Structure 1
Amino acid sequence: MSRASLVERLRTEPGAAVLLLGVTALALVWANSPLSSLYVDLWETPVAVDIGDLRFDMDLHHWVNDGLMVLFFFVVGLEVRQELSIGSLRRRSQRLVPLVAGTAGVAVPALVYLAVAGREAPEGWGVVVGTDTAFLLGVLALVGPAMSNQLRVFLLTLSVVDDFLAVTIIGVVYSDEVRVGPLLVALTCLGALWALGRLREWRSTPYVLIVVALWGATVQAGIHPSIAGMLAGLLVPAALTRRDDVVRTKSLYRAYWQSPSAGVARDVQHGLSRSISVNHRLHQALGSPVTLVVVPLFALANAGIDLRGGALAEALGSSVTWGVVAGLVLGKLVGVGVGTWVALRLRLGTLPDGVGPGSVLGGAALSGIGFTVSLLVVDLAFDDAAHAQAATVGVLLALIVASVVSWGLFATARVRWGEESADLPLALDPPVDPRHDHVRGNLDAPHTVVEYFDFECPFCARTTGMWRDLRDHLGDRIRYVVRHLPLDDVHPHAHLAAVAAEAADRQGRFWEMHDRLFAHQSELEAEDLRRHAAAVGLDLDQFDADLGDEALHARVRDHAVSAAASGARGTPTFFLDGTRHLGPHDAATLIAALEALGTDGPAAERP
């Protein structure tokens, strides 16, 4: 296996989980080997950095936990901001169920820990409140349903709430004595980050410099820097890419093509950066280093506990160990499960489509994998070395037990409740019927591409030239079908525009109207539609009558129902030979996917 392919595998969720397990095993073996003194000495190596009158003097272990791990929590903050701005926490109906479940998934484990180990070591309750999102998703990919993307979205949203509460607890409860001067500097840095967002600063450098200053001020203030990383990530703005930015960048590329020079190349780079939010660019730049370097290094520094000389037996006899196991495994399962049930009973929201109760319970069990956050709190919570060692053993045991319990719950859900997947449907429903669908190209072509589109969606096929690119490459081997999916909540004119296209179809002008509407996406008011109808040669009296025909409105709604039954939730969504396409949907990717399918005969003859 080449180095590049190995790195790509490690970047996947199962690969990241396997890497963490491997590093954890290495730490345990090292700490219990004849070279254990070398392990201890390595992490106790003092490292001092002086900047003027400021001095950062910590051992290597604390540089990892208090320094590098800030990147981990910064990335978590970036992800939370993405979910709040453009993701699953944007809508009330989507966020309330995981909000309630996530809150219960923090409170119940803490209560369970205190019930089991409160007398011996009450300060350790924070060990059981967090969930290791990366580990959770990796184990989900290994033991969960074959198709579990919707469950993954639910668990990600849940972990956003979990992480935010856990980091807040770390920053507030497990911080040292606070020094006012550096704290004021830290607050000033947070204000500067907020101002950059308000000013729509697109360059990443100012954000990075302020985050570095924020980290230094937080360390000097005596507050654990995890909360600084989370808050900094929350203040970095996230937004969807706008179509006009993409078009502007395309024109810059054209200028570079015609006259390549360093100055034009710089303009292209700036154009690309402007078109993608600074949040997404920082997340893309930091995601792999955090997954492949920071978190494994943290595991190596914190999972190595010496279990020789009766230490393991002592840990297994400690209520701290079993308090951590009970809190993470039982507390998370009960907290998330009951929290979800209560939220659904109160009708605060719904579960994602395709996710059943068995999958929720399996995911709740997986949230008992605390690992990264739990080990960090172990280092902060306990002054007693024996308690810290027992808690670490509990975290590692909980990782194993939670994985096994979740596997059992997923298997039970599959056998007893028929929950074969936890995802949206993949098959096109109903299949293409040339008598009713709008088809471009050879009716008997071996390949069929179906696009669900919205006339106000700036990224749908007509704007990007998808049909032309596919036709130019595949010729008569492809037929192209479009179905309506008006996103009424964000595109108020899309439904009537779809009806206008269907009205044009009654006069044999569907594709002319289709192309005209996409060419004038900002002009879709009722009067605009009449003007477009005249431009493509329609009889306006008949067009006006058809525009009010309930049968055409019902046809558009039927397309939307078909989209829901097929798993299409946004536009554009593509189906290749009857199966929903996942991943990028640029022309080159779709062509490669179609070529990989081969040609088994005319599309109409294939299921």
Structure 2
Amino acid sequence: MTDAPRRRTSLFARRSWGETSRISAILRKETVGGALLLVGALLALLWSNSPWADGYRALRDLTVGPASLHLDLTLATWAADGLLAIFFFVAGLELKREFVAGDLRDPRRAAVPVAAAVGGVAVPAVLFVLIAGVDGARGWAIPTATDIAFALAVLAVVGRLLPSALRTFLLTLAVVDDLLAIVIIAVFYTSSLAVPPLLAALVPLALFAVLVQRRVRSWWLLLPLAAVTWTLVHASGVHATVAGVLLAFTVPVLRSEAAGGPDAGPGLAEHFEHRFRPISAGVAVPIFAFLSAGVTVGGLAGLATALTDRVAAGIVVGLVVGKPVGILAATWLVSRFTRANLDEGLNWVDVLGLALLGGIGFTVSLLIGELAFGLGSARDDHVKVAVLTGSLLSALLATVILRARTRVYRRVHEIETLDEDHDGVPDVFEPKADGHVD
């Protein structure tokens, strides 16, 4: 009696239709957010390089807030510390959902995006340090972040037919990338630590956790507790965006047994994500981009001067070379040691295209640049020029590769959307007689 043939392990296996639909909805929202982010960055660049540049700097440096609470901050700082806390709150919700109910709870499925994210952080960091030298080493983490909204905005234009498995891989990679960025900011960019306010932040955080665990949704209870937690974390010296992640990690992903258990529908995390993702993608990140991307380039001569800075050169090389090399190498190593294969019709050039999209760094890269070298400093201006240049080059290279594969993606797209029984679920996502999905 012969054994049944073993089912081939796929490097980019399809998820269930329900999960694919959820991911598609997230990608659509992030794509819109990416377009708004680009608009905000473009407006900032145009204004800061116009005859009215002093007005932009005056707006960016305008100080508001109560001095008694040490919250008399510039608008740029409010955007980086306050609005991005919303961004990281949503990222934290998605992180927890992936680890509790998504692909990251399965080590086999998590191996590829986790390895790719780690490779996409390690290689550009090493290249940056080698190029920037000891003098600029503090900015080592700048080229390690992927801006998913920016990347998806590019993908919406040049790769809208990209197979669902590759889109999911890009989003999951970005989720793990966000986790690594959170750890990096908390550990490496906390200049001074005040323990009393950090310990005090545990009180409102615990009260928030108790309420959300009891499925309380009342904003007038939760929002003040979140604000107090943010204020105390800010006062402790830890970057205030970490408060958004801590709050998100307390939110339950699955429904309680009293409410019908996991099979009864989405938990409170998905409810909050649905409410706050549009605010994050449509308001918080674009405003941050507007207040952070403004840099006076000074024409081609100014651009050349900025890019001759070793720190700027390290950022560009890290984003354009380091990110794709790290992602591609890590993915290849996983396939090598697990003997997993690419899906039929896909090629390693498709992975290279995605890896180049991973080199589009913006939101977190600009934030780390400000933390490393100081907002408004000469080197911070060079960082902005380098991040924009590296991201643009990565986007252009990814465009060339992904556009060249349009015919293949169109064929896969036709398979993934075919619904011959008209039940609303494409045939390829329906289980076969052996219980598997194609």
Q: Name the TM-score, length of structure 1 as normaliser.
A: 0.61
Within 5 A, what are the aligned runs for 1:160-559? 160-196=175-211, 199-203=213-217, 205=219, 206-239=221-254, 276-308=266-298, 310-347=301-338, 356-383=347-374, 385-413=377-405, 418=408, 420=410, 425-426=415-416, 448-450=421-423, 485=431, 556-557=433-434
Q: 1:353 to 1:104 in 2, by over 3 A?
A: same
Q: Higher strand fraction: Structure 1 or Structure 2?
A: 1
After superposition, the CA RMSD in angstroms is: 3.2
* 8 Å contact from structure 1 (residues 139, 403) kept in 2: yes
Residue 449 of structure 1: SS of its match in structure 2? coil
Q: 1:350 to 1:62 in 2, by over 3 A?
A: farther
Distance 1:421 1:49 in 2: 58
Unaligned runs of 5+ in 2: 1-24
Shift of residue 362 of structure 1? Answer: 0.8
Is 1:80 the equivalent of 2:70?
no
* 8 Å contact from structure 1 (residues 46, 60) kept in 2: yes
Match of residue 105 from structure 1 = 120
* 8 Å contact from structure 1 (residues 97, 351) kept in 2: no
Within 5 A, what are the aligned runs for 1:142-161? 142-144=157-159, 146-161=161-176
* 8 Å contact from structure 2 (residues 32, 281) kept in 1: no
Match of residue 33 from structure 2 = 16
Shift of residue 149 of structure 1? Answer: 2.1
Compare 124-133 and 145-154 and name the one that shifted more.
145-154
Residue 17 of structure 1: SS of its match in structure 2? helix
Instruction: Letter of the 2:53 partner, please give it.
Output: S
Distance 1:361 1:228 in 2: 35
Residue 118 of structure 2: SS of its match in structure 1? helix
Paired residue total: 407
Distance 2:303 2:39 in 1: 20
Instruction: Letter of the 1:201 partner, please give it.
Output: R
Shift of residue 188 of structure 1? Answer: 3.9
What per-residue deviation string (whole Å, max 9, x for no partner) do you get for residues 262-293 of structure 1?
A: xxxxxxxxxxxx96522112111111121111
Between structure 1 and structure 2, the one with the greater Rg is 1
Shift of residue 169 of structure 1? Answer: 0.7
Match of residue 38 from structure 1 = 55
Within 5 A, what are the aligned runs for 1:129-144? 129-144=144-159
Match of residue 136 from structure 2 = 121
* 8 Å contact from structure 2 (residues 32, 153) kept in 1: yes
Q: 1:24 to 1:54 in 2, by over 3 A?
A: closer
Instruction: Letter of the 2:57 partner, please give it.
Output: V
Q: 1:145 to 1:341 in 2, by over 3 A?
A: farther
Shift of residue 300 of structure 1? Answer: 0.7
Shift of residue 316 of structure 1? Answer: 2.4
Shift of residue 408 of structure 1? Answer: 2.1
Distance 2:70 2:307 in 1: 41
Shift of residue 428 of structure 1? Answer: 5.4
Shift of residue 314 of structure 1? Answer: 1.4
What per-residue deviation string (whole Å, max 9, x for no partner) do you get for residues 232-272 of structure 1?
A: 212211126999769xxxxxxxxxxxxxxxxxxxxxxxxxx
Q: Higher helix fraction: Structure 1 or Structure 2?
A: 2
